[in-house]
Amino acid sequence: MPSTDRPAPRPVSVSCVEMTQLVLPPDTNQHGSIFGGRVLQWIDIAGAIAAQRHSRRKVVTASMDEMHFLVPIKLAEVVILRACVNFVSRTSMEVGVRVEREVPSTGERFHAATAYLTFVCLDDDGKPTPAPLLELQTDLERRRFREAEMRRATRLAHRDALKALRGGEG
Ligand SMILES: CC(C)(COP(=O)(O)OP(=O)(O)OC[C@H]1O[C@@H](n2cnc3c(N)ncnc32)[C@H](O)[C@@H]1OP(=O)(O)O)[C@@H](O)C(=O)NCCC(=O)NCCS
pLDDT above 80 for 4 = no
Residue 148 has pLDDT above 80, yes or no: yes
pLDDT digits (tens, 9 = 90+) for 18-61: 999 999 999 999 999 999 999 999 999 999 999 999 999 999 99
Q: Is 140 helix (H, G, I), strand (E, B) or coil?
A: helix
Every domain of the chain and the residues it spans: 10-165
Phi and psi angles of residue 143, each rounded to the nearest 5 degrees, phi first: -65, -45
In the prediction, which pLDDT does 149 show? 97
Answer whether residue 170 shows pLDDT above 80: no
pLDDT at position 5: 80
pLDDT digits (tens, 9 = 90+) for 71-129: 999 999 999 999 999 999 999 999 999 999 999 999 999 999 999 999 999 999 999 99
Tell me the CATH number of domain 10-165, given options 3.40.50.10860, 3.40.50.261, 3.30.70.260, 3.10.129.10: 3.10.129.10
Q: What is the pLDDT of residue 61?
A: 98
Is residue 1 pLDDT above 70, yes or no? no
CA of 88 to the centre of ligand 1 (A): 13
CA of 60 to the centre of ligand 1 (A): 8
Return the residue whose CA atom lies nearest to atom 47 of ligand 1: 61
Q: Element (H or E) spanning 146, and its range?
A: helix 139-165
* Cα–Cα distance for residue pair 43/34, rounded to 1 Å: 14
At 144, the amino acid letter reads R
Rounded Cα distance between 124 and 128, Å, is 10
pLDDT-derived band at 3 (thresholds 50, 70, 90) equals low
Structure confidence at residue 2 as a pLDDT band (50, 70, 90) = low
User: Are residues 85 and 127 in contact, defined by beta-carbon separation less than 8 angstroms?
Assistant: no
Residues facing residue 81 across a β-bridge: 19, 99
For the purposes of burial, counting CB atoms within 10 Å of the CB of 96, is it exposed (0-12), middle (13-18) or buried (19 or more)? Answer: buried
User: Residue with the nearest Cα to atom 9 of ligand 1?
Assistant: 128
58-64 β-sheet, strand order: 17-22, 78-88, 92-102, 109-122, 58-64
**Over residues 124-137, mean pLDDT:** 97
Q: State the pLDDT at residue 169.
A: 74
Ligand 1 atom with the smallest distance to the CA of 126 is 3
Q: Quick check: 168 pLDDT over 90?
A: no
Which residues does ligand 1 sit against, CB inside 6 Å?
60-63, 89-92, 118, 120, 128, 155
